[in-house]
Amino acid sequence: MFKSIQGIMQKASHKPEKTDKKKLLPVLTADALLRDKNRRTIVRQFPKLLSFSDENFKNLATPVINNFAEFVQQLPETRNSFYSQLGGLMDHALERSRNSMILIRNYFLPDGNDNAPLTQPQTLWAYTIFTAGILHDIGKVNVDFIVEMYDQNRGFIKNWGPFTGDMIGQGDLYDYEFDNAHPHEFKKRVTMLMARQLMPEEGFNWIASNKDVLHVWLALLDDDYRGAGVLGKVFMRADALAIQQNLAKLLEESHNFDVDEKVVSKFADMDDTEKKSEEKTQKTGDPLIDFLNWLKSGLAEQQYMLNKSPLFYVPGGMLMTSDIFKYFSNQFGYSEGEVVGALKENGLVEVNEKGEAKKQVTRNYGKDKSSTIDGVILKNPDIVLPSEFKVLSNPVEGQYLTKSSAQSIHLMTSETLVNAKGLANNFIVKVAGAATASQYIATNGQLVSQGPKAAIEASPNPFVTMK
């Protein structure tokens, strides 16, 4: 026991011997980090998407963005796959949050009136998904990295501890390395602690003023998308779009084919980006990038369909049997272990208490019929969904439906909607205006206008006056 503690302490106080050859990065303020053209464009979209006045944006949104920026600095999201560029962690957060806001406004304002303001209760839900989108991966700075702080003369100061505060004032330069893989559950727990640390007091109190809203906010940070109900599905879709857009850029850089880079503003724009990324499937040398693009291409070309072997919708995501990895290996040469290992490293698949990705699921279909399937569960299937794909809707009769990626938000069973601790049904009744979850499903997820029910009836807000 004491040896292990001693090892941890030695690791925490590790002092590098030489820094001359290291390419150290400068510690930057939020203003400097957000001067990037794409980041600046996204931040300028947020006030309108949130229906915030200048004052409310300054008090509630700007501190979240700035605090996050000064914590993550130029750290990448992954070693060598999506958002692996310098600043990738920040870029992913901003793009995921922006996409979440666009999608949630499409739910609140189904008539497509982009200029219509949200009601105050709707704005609370929008702020919830906005902040969750920004802070969702903040735990990575503590769990996935070892960050070394240096002075302006390149002298080592210490290893940075994120719980002591951001990097500003703790050094002039920094270097980082990826830490050994830790359980994804650890990252989620640290994320919730750090999210509270980075939230402005006024903003957190606003979210906490409504227990349903607080539950959803925590569920989003915890990757509990079923617990977050419909907002969880919106969040999954937004995150998948961000990753797809980044993968498309990586493919463009690797293979020099055109991708539409215009800022996403509507569902149609999102689908257009997806179609561009489906034009080619070539080997990049990274098993994760190659697998995700290959699977998306296979679904687009209808070589595979959902709910038919080897891909099945199950609680928690999409189960992929060993066959899908064999087909991929035959074409690209990667082993199943390489692909599953990359999926695990990036937190994209469910794992059990032993850290194993393999799961066994029992599927019920027809009357008194069931089957047991072994495989790996991709937590967010939207990452690999193309602009159009097929879903086996009736396994007994072999019937299938063609769905668009925009409709993936509605590919939730009545059981998922009703059992998400009542929150999904609560969301549907109060936001969508549907009388019940069943009515929502019957309308294929289209919002039903029923006067005042179209707004979320949140508790009166004692902390913020919307202006």
The domain boundary, picked from 381, 403, 425, lies at 403
In the numeric block, which tokens belong to residue 211? 């227990």
Is 246 domain-assigned? no
Structure confidence by residue, pLDDT tens digits, 113-165: 667 888 888 999 999 999 999 999 999 999 999 999 999 999 999 999 999 99
- Whether pLDDT at 75 is above 90: yes
pLDDT grade, residue 172 (50/70/90)?
very high
CATH classification of the domain holding 131:
1.10.3210.40
Is 106 domain-assigned? yes
**Domains identified in the chain, total number:** 2
- Whether pLDDT at 276 is above 50: no
pLDDT above 70 covers a percentage of the chain that reads 72
What does the alpha-carbon distance between residue 111 and residue 346 come to, in Å, rounded to a whole number?
37
pLDDT grade, residue 349 (50/70/90)?
confident
The domain boundary, picked from 369, 387, 403, lies at 403
Is 335 domain-assigned? yes
- Whether pLDDT at 267 is above 60: no
- Whether pLDDT at 44 is above 80: yes
* Strand residue runs (E) in 50-92: none
Average of pLDDT values for 64-68? Answer: 97
Asked whether 89 and 133 are in contact (CB, 8 A), the reply is no
What does the alpha-carbon distance between residue 397 and residue 371 come to, in Å, rounded to a whole number?
16
198 lies in the same domain as 329 = no
What does the alpha-carbon distance between residue 348 and residue 72 come to, in Å, rounded to a whole number?
21
Which of 38-47, 246-255, 316-325 is the least confident region? 246-255
In terms of residue numbers, what domain contains 152? Answer: 20-236
Q: What is the mean pLDDT of the chain?
A: 77
Strands 145-150 and 156-159: antiparallel
What does the alpha-carbon distance between residue 12 and residue 158 come to, in Å, rounded to a whole number?
9
What does the alpha-carbon distance between residue 334 and residue 288 come to, in Å, rounded to a whole number?
10
What does the alpha-carbon distance between residue 64 and residue 47 come to, in Å, rounded to a whole number?
13
What does the alpha-carbon distance between residue 347 and residue 378 come to, in Å, rounded to a whole number?
9
Is 413 domain-assigned? no
Which of 52-66, 88-102, 114-128, 386-400 is the least confident region? 386-400
228 lies in the same domain as 369 = no
Is 399 domain-assigned? yes
Question: For residue 3, what pLDDT is reported?
Answer: 40
Question: For residue 396, what pLDDT is reported?
Answer: 67
The domain boundary, picked from 236, 257, 272, lies at 236
Give pTM, 2 decimals: 0.76
230 lies in the same domain as 303 = no
Question: For residue 251, what pLDDT is reported?
Answer: 74
Is 434 domain-assigned? no
Asked whether 316 and 360 are in contact (CB, 8 A), the reply is no
Asked whether 49 and 126 are in contact (CB, 8 A), the reply is yes
228 lies in the same domain as 374 = no
Is 14 domain-assigned? no
73 lies in the same domain as 195 = yes
Is 372 domain-assigned? yes
Question: For residue 460, what pLDDT is reported?
Answer: 32
135 lies in the same domain as 230 = yes
